[in-house]
Amino acid sequence: MIVFVLGFISQVLFFTRTLFQWVQSERARKVVSPTIYWVLSIVASYLFFIYGWLRNDFSILLGQLISYYIYIWNLNENGVWEKINLFIKVVLVLTPFLAIGFVLKNGNYFVDNFLTNKSIPLWLLIFGSMGQVIFTLRFVYQWIYSMRRNQSLLPVGFWIISLVGSGIIAIYGLIRLDPILILGQSVGFIAYTRNIALYRKESKQISHAI
């Protein structure tokens, strides 16, 4: 029960970041990348990583590990990282490395509990991991796009990748009967679609202006 509460809290934070971003974008009448989005992202990701570990779910761990340090990059780009307490920064940075160190030192435990988890068939593990990778690659895309422009942005490609990855994860959650994954992915669909619509509207306005 406690595990699901932890997962639920992380999904609420993920949803809240999307909600804040959506509301601020509606007010600005264009897609924006607010600082609060990245603050909530790192907190939610940290909690969801723990949830995935306690659930012995490799696909969740993989997804969070890919995007985790990109969140930190965006926090730094927005001038937030330098304001965080040093102890908290050390904990945030080192936790994934400690987890990886545990895996390398206890390979058999990891294989038995994560890669050969009897409650998750291999095909489902691959399917779920594929969804997590696609969903998380949106942040790799966002990072590369933002790096080239020297500012934290959320481009239209980010939202398109979000829709595809989210759909796969939602199906994975339905098969696993995981209410946390189902809830977390379902609520994001509207925001992802709306951001794409805002981009199209903005593009049309620019075209007409030209």
Give the CA diameter of the chain: 62
Asked if residue 136 lies in contact with residue 63, where contact means CB atoms within 8 angstroms, the answer is yes
Question: What is the mean pLDDT of the segment spanning 128-143?
Answer: 88
10 Å Cβ neighbour count for 53? Answer: 18
> Quick one: pLDDT band at residue 107, thresholds 50, 70, 90?
low
3-state SS, residue 118: coil
Q: For the chain, how many structural domains are there in total?
A: 1
**Percent of the chain scoring above 70 in pLDDT:** 91
pTM for the predicted model, two decimal places: 0.79
101 alpha-carbon distance from chain centroid: 23
> Quick one: pLDDT band at residue 141, thresholds 50, 70, 90?
very high
- Name the residue range of residue 157's domain: 2-209
Determine which of 17-31, 88-102, 116-130, 160-174 has the lowest per-residue pLDDT on average.
Answer: 116-130
10 Å Cβ neighbour count for 205? Answer: 12
What is the per-residue pLDDT across 72-86, written as a single tens digit (0 to 9) for each? Answer: 999 999 999 999 999
**Selected residue with higher pLDDT from 120 and 117:** 120
Q: What is the DSSP string of 9-57?
A: HHHHHHHHHHHHHHHHHHHHTS----HHHHHHHHHHHHHHHHHHHHTT-
